[in-house]
Amino acid sequence: MPGKINPVLPETINQIAYDIMGKNLTIQQAAQNANLQLSLMFPVLADSLITMLKVSATGIFVFAINCVQHLVANPEKCKELLENSTVYATLLAPQLGYDTVSSIVKEGIKTKKPIRELVLEKKLLTQTEFDQLTNNHLQ
86 and 59 housed in the same domain: no
Which CATH number belongs to the domain containing residue 125 in this structure?
A: 1.10.40.30
pLDDT one digit per residue (tens) for the chain, 139 residues: 787 778 899 999 999 999 999 999 999 998 888 776 667 888 999 999 999 999 999 999 999 999 999 999 999 999 889 888 999 999 899 989 999 999 999 999 999 999 999 999 999 999 999 988 888 655 4
Cβ contact 16:73 at 8 Å: no
30 and 59 housed in the same domain: yes
57 and 79 housed in the same domain: no
Residue 111 lies in a domain: yes
Last residue of a domain, one of 44, 70, 96: 70
pLDDT at 2: 80
H runs (alpha helix) in the chain? 8-32, 38-66, 75-83, 88-96, 98-111, 115-121, 127-138
Residue 52 lies in a domain: yes
Cβ contact 120:130 at 8 Å: yes
Residue 3 lies in a domain: no
97 and 53 housed in the same domain: no
84 and 131 housed in the same domain: yes
Last residue of a domain, one of 31, 49, 70: 70
91 and 125 housed in the same domain: yes
b vs e for 47-59, b when ≥16 Cβ sit within 10 Å of the residue's Cβ?
Answer: ebeeebeeebeeb
Give dist(CA 128, CA 139) in Å, integer.
16
Total domain count, the chain? 2
Cα within 13 Å of Cα(56), Cβ side:
13
In terms of C-beta density within 10 A (0-12 exposed, 13-18 middle, 19 or more buried), how is residue 104 classed?
buried
Domain that holds residue 45: 8-70
